[in-house]
């Protein structure tokens, strides 16, 4: 006889919180290996999502729909019109609102049974451990290196799995760090951060919205597998490209690195999370200033290193289009003949222009080369509000 048939009191059987939960979650509860036990595990679990953007929105949506009992949302940013192409929990009506609040409202409408913790604040070394500690699983849905290292070090310290996603252009990747006793952390795989000029956000490089949806949904799936015991416990890196056939490939990851500065047991270790300056570790904050190109009548030339397509959208008067890859191939070919001419290099957000300016300076240290920090976005914000922003 099946053990359930011998129970004398039905009140002794495990149950979901509300009677209609059986109907709400029934389609996943009838799955082999999931069942009522899996749903109760979700009901009693907690997940914190850092970043309510392109990755965080789909992840939060499916975690809430699946019945995770408690969700934490951490994001200090506000909703902008440019977010709506991929950040599916936000809408025109929530533009200007904190993303964490906007996402929480959407989730509450989707599944009012979920308890939601809203943290409309920036995660930093002073608050990371205290905010993350109450949750079972951490989801990294951010887009910058300092926060990735902060989250990885915090996950190691708290002994929690970190489900990390990334998406850019047509590409995405997914990995669970600090998985089990032997899973590598982020520092094991990337002990040194990339140079600041080699990194870029979706705002800088572009992103196909559906790509963030795919990776964010996969992050939710991995979290659900971890909570319900369906995960095989093996660390791997999943790579996705929307234009490749097939679009997915998996790379098996090595075990935890013994000499890792964060999770290893040998060699020199980093300081505590609270004592680590993650921004400085990743190359420091970029300066926030804009050269006033037209502030004087001095002789100058403006080189726009954006792709031709973007140059066709909008441009500064009298600027010359020299895409970055073309300029880097032969910088001297594109310089003004007048050596006394000040050269201003501009791009969309101020990252490619840094690379181009350094390449020009390398030709002749006597040239006056100025990088328009913040790019055309800063130009629109600080000098000409009518200049198009895209």
In a domain, 11, yes or no: no
Strands 342-346 and 300-304: parallel
CATH number at residue 116: 3.40.50.720
CATH number at residue 313: 3.40.250.10
pLDDT of 16: 85
Which structural domain range is residue 235 located in? Answer: 45-281
Q: What is the mean pLDDT of residues 61-84?
A: 96
Alpha carbon distance 74, 123 (integer Å) = 7
In a domain, 50, yes or no: yes
pLDDT of 198: 52
- Ranges 41-45, 139-143, 183-187, 264-268: which has the least confidence: 264-268
Q: Are residues 107 and 231 in the same domain?
A: yes
Q: Are residues 99 and 133 in the same domain?
A: yes
CA 179 to chain centre: 20
Contact 251, 234 (CB under 8 A): no
Choosing from 175, 185, 202, 282, the catalytic residue is 202
Tell me the two tokens of residue 295: 């502030």
Mark whether 188 is an active-site residue.
Answer: no
Q: Are residues 139 and 194 in the same domain?
A: yes
Contact 376, 358 (CB under 8 A): no
pLDDT of 10: 46
Q: What are phi and psi of 237, to 5 degrees?
A: -115, 120
* pLDDT beyond 90 at 195: no
In a domain, 37, yes or no: no
Q: Are residues 118 and 249 in the same domain?
A: yes
In a domain, 295, yes or no: no
The residue count for the chain: 390
In a domain, 153, yes or no: yes
Contact 112, 69 (CB under 8 A): no
Q: Are residues 277 and 162 in the same domain?
A: yes
In a domain, 221, yes or no: yes
Return the SS3 of 211: helix
Contact 356, 373 (CB under 8 A): no
Q: Are residues 90 and 161 in the same domain?
A: yes
Q: Are residues 102 and 251 in the same domain?
A: yes
* pLDDT beyond 50 at 1: no
| Per-residue pLDDT tens digits for 228-254 | 999 999 999 999 999 999 999 999 888
Q: What are phi and psi of 130, to 5 degrees?
A: -70, -35
Tell me the two tokens of residue 207: 């992103």
| Helix, strand, coil abundance in the chain, percent, nearest 5 | 35, 15, 45
Q: What is the mean pLDDT of residues 37-49?
A: 96
Q: Are residues 130 and 169 in the same domain?
A: yes
Return the SS3 of 315: coil
Higher-pLDDT residue of 198 and 222 is: 222
Q: Are residues 60 and 140 in the same domain?
A: yes
Q: Are residues 213 and 326 in the same domain?
A: no
Contact 307, 206 (CB under 8 A): no
Mark whether 141 is an active-site residue.
Answer: no
Total domain count for the chain? 2
Contact 80, 63 (CB under 8 A): no
Q: For residue 176, give the nearest of 167, 164, 166 by alpha carbon.
A: 164
- CA torsion angle 342 345 349 352 (round to 10): -140
Contact 327, 334 (CB under 8 A): yes
pLDDT of 368: 85
In a domain, 218, yes or no: yes
Choosing from 57, 188, 260, 347, the catalytic residue is 347
The listed range with the strongest mean pLDDT (101-110, 255-264, 373-382) is 101-110
Q: For residue 55, give the nearest of 230, 185, 240 by alpha carbon.
A: 240
Q: What is the mean pLDDT of residues 85-102?
A: 96
Q: For residue 75, give the nearest of 161, 138, 142, 155 by alpha carbon.
A: 142
* Average pLDDT over all residues of the chain: 88
In a domain, 20, yes or no: no
pTM confidence score: 0.73
Confidence class for position 115, pLDDT limits 50, 70, 90: very high
Tell me the two tokens of residue 3: 């053990």
Q: Are residues 140 and 56 in the same domain?
A: yes
Q: Are residues 190 and 69 in the same domain?
A: yes
Contacts of 190 (CB under 8 A, 6+ apart): none
Return the SS3 of 384: coil
- CA torsion angle 380 381 383 385 (round to 10): 60
Contacts of 67 (CB under 8 A, 6+ apart): 21, 24, 25, 39, 42, 43, 111, 113, 114
pLDDT of 297: 54
């Amino acid at each position: 006889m099946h053990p359930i048939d011998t129970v004398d009191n039905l009140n002794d059987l495990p149950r979901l919180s509300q009677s209609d939960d059986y109907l709400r979650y029934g389609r996943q509860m009838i799955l082999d290996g999931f069942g009522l036990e899996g749903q109760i595990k979700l009901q009693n679990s907690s997940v914190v999502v850092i970043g309510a953007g392109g990755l965080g929105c789909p992840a939060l949506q499916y975690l809430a729909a699946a019945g995770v009992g408690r969700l934490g949302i951490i994001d200090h940013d506000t909703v902008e019109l440019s977010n709506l192409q991929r950040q599916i929990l936000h809408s025109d009506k929530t533009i200007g609102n904190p993303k964490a609040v906007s996402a929480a409202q959407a989730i509450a409408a989707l599944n009012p049974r979920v308890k939601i913790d809203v943290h409309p604040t920036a995660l930093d070394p002073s608050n990371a451990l205290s905010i993350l500690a109450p949750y079972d699983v951490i989801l990294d849905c951010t887009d910058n290196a300092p926060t990735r290292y902060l989250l990885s070090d915090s996950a190691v310290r708290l002994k929690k799995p970190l489900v990390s996603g990334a998406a850019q252009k047509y590409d995405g990747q997914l990995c669970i760090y600090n998985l089990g006793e032997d899973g590598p952390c982020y520092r094991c795989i990337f002990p040194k951060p990339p140079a600041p000029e080699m990194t870029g956000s979706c705002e800088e490089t572009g992103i196909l919205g559906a790509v963030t949806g795919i990776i964010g949904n996969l992050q939710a799936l991995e979290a659900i597998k971890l909570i319900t015991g369906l995960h095989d416990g093996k660390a791997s890196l999943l790579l996705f490209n929307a234009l490749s056939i097939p679009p997915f490939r998996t790379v098996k990851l090595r075990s935890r690195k013994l000499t890792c500065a964060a999770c290893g047991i040998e060699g020199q270790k980093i300081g505590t999370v609270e004592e680590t300056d993650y921004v400085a570790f990743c190359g420091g904050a970029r300066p926030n200033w804009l050269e006033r190109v037209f502030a004087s009548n001095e002789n100058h030339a403006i080189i726009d290193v954006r792709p031709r397509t973007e140059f066709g959208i909008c441009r500064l008067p009298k600027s010359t289009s020299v895409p970055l890859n073309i300029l880097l191939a032969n910088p001297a070919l594109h310089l003004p003949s007048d050596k006394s001419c000040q050269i201003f290099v501009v791009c969309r957000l101020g990252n490619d222009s840094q690379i181009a300016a350094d390449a020009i300076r390398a030709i002749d240290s006597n040239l006056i080369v100025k990088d328009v920090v913040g790019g055309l976005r800063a130009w629109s914000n600080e000098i000409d509000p009518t200049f198009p922003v895209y």
